[in-house]
Structure 1
Amino acid sequence: MTDNPYAPPQATNGTTSGDTRLSPPLWNPSAAVAWCLLFGIIFGSWIHMKNWQMLGQPAKAAASKRWLIGSTLLFLVSFTLAFAMPESGPVGTFNFFFGFAVIIAWYFISARDQIRFVATTYGKNYQHRSWGTPLLYGLLVIIGVGVVGAIAGIVAAVANRAA
């Protein structure tokens, strides 16, 4: 018997039975990594944190939460630098490449573990959660960041004209 209450039952031939009702509802962890290319690591680390919680893995969920907090702080620093030094093209280039490097590091340090765990434990036989809500939230966050950026840009332009 396994400690994981959602571990799939073994069929007599040693393979899983294919009964997805016994698995927790999960977002595809590989798809979460792919969505990071559009929405950033904050999105993927949140998805992986929620998956680990559903899998009954609190230590791994806590590790994903640390990635979530760290990536949020990095985003805030990056966003602030972009407005603090708008004339500096290298800041934008650095932010892009640094952000991409962080996603790669996250994949190899954290995300790959969940991908392997789900593949080994369930294969494709698990309840797949719908991506509708998280993708909508991701889109709303991107729009919100754009609006905040536009407002900050307008405020900065007005302040520069007044000075």
Structure 2
Amino acid sequence: MDKTADSIPITDNQAIALWNPTAAALWSLVFTPAFGAWLHMRNWERLGQPDKARQARYWFAGMLLIAIASYAAGAAGALLGRDDLSVPWWASLALFGAWGAGSAYQQIKHVDDHHGESYARRSWAAPMLIGVAAICAIPFAAGVVTAFRVAAA
């Protein structure tokens, strides 16, 4: 019997509950690549692959920092009235492509090769709520920045 990072005992013949890695990658187009990297990290932990979980954690942390820096640059540009501080629209697609071709593809292939369709599916309720909350927080933050800009003028 093996024990995963979630402390769920798993025997070799039991189905492992995972988020669909392909769906996680595709939802990253909506919720940023950090979303998919986090889900893939949790999947690797459940699959008993700590090295790959660590790599996914680095992807998650890096992409989260890039997303925060991107939003901060946009906010700074709005406060200063400068459009040149914003990140180009294609930058997030390039980041998604790098993550998708590297880390995400590894998990999609691993799950397909070792589990096929026999793994149990984890619920998407919590990740979707978190993703929607994060997406809703962005316009709220933009409103706060705009309010500061109007107040400063």
TM superposition score category, shorter chain reference: 0.7 to 0.9
CA distance in 2, matches of 1:108, 1:7: 29
1:38 to 9, 18, 30: 30
Residue 52 of structure 2 aligns to which amino acid in structure 1?
Answer: K
Does the 8 A contact of 2:56 with 2:103 survive in 1? yes
Any residues of structure 2 matched to 1:17-32 within 5 Å, and which?
22-32=14-24
1:77 to 66, 69, 72: 69
Any residues of structure 2 matched to 1:12-161 within 5 Å, and which?
22-86=14-78, 87-89=81-83, 91-92=85-86, 94=88, 96-159=89-152, 161=153
TM-score of the pair, normalised by structure 1: 0.81
CA distance in 2, matches of 1:59, 1:130: 25
Alpha-carbon offset, residue 92 of structure 1: 4.2
TM-score of the pair, normalised by structure 2: 0.86
Range with bigger deviation, 74-83 or 141-150: 141-150
Gaps of 5+ in 2: 5-9
Alpha-carbon offset, residue 145 of structure 1: 2.2
Alpha-carbon offset, residue 7 of structure 1: 4.8
- Residue deviations 1:52-99 (CA, integer Å, cap 9, x gap): 0000000000000001110111011111110112344455461x2111
Count of residues in correspondence between the two structures = 143
Residue 35 of structure 1 aligns to which amino acid in structure 2?
Answer: W
For residues 148 and 99 of structure 1, do their structure 2 counterparts lie closer, same or farther at Cα, with a shift above 3 Å needed? same
Gaps of 5+ in 1: 9-21
Residue 40 of structure 1 aligns to which amino acid in structure 2?
Answer: T
Larger Rg over CA atoms? 1
For residues 126 and 110 of structure 1, do their structure 2 counterparts lie closer, same or farther at Cα, with a shift above 3 Å needed? same
Query: What residue number does 1:16 align with?
Result: none
Query: What residue number does 2:7 align with?
Result: none
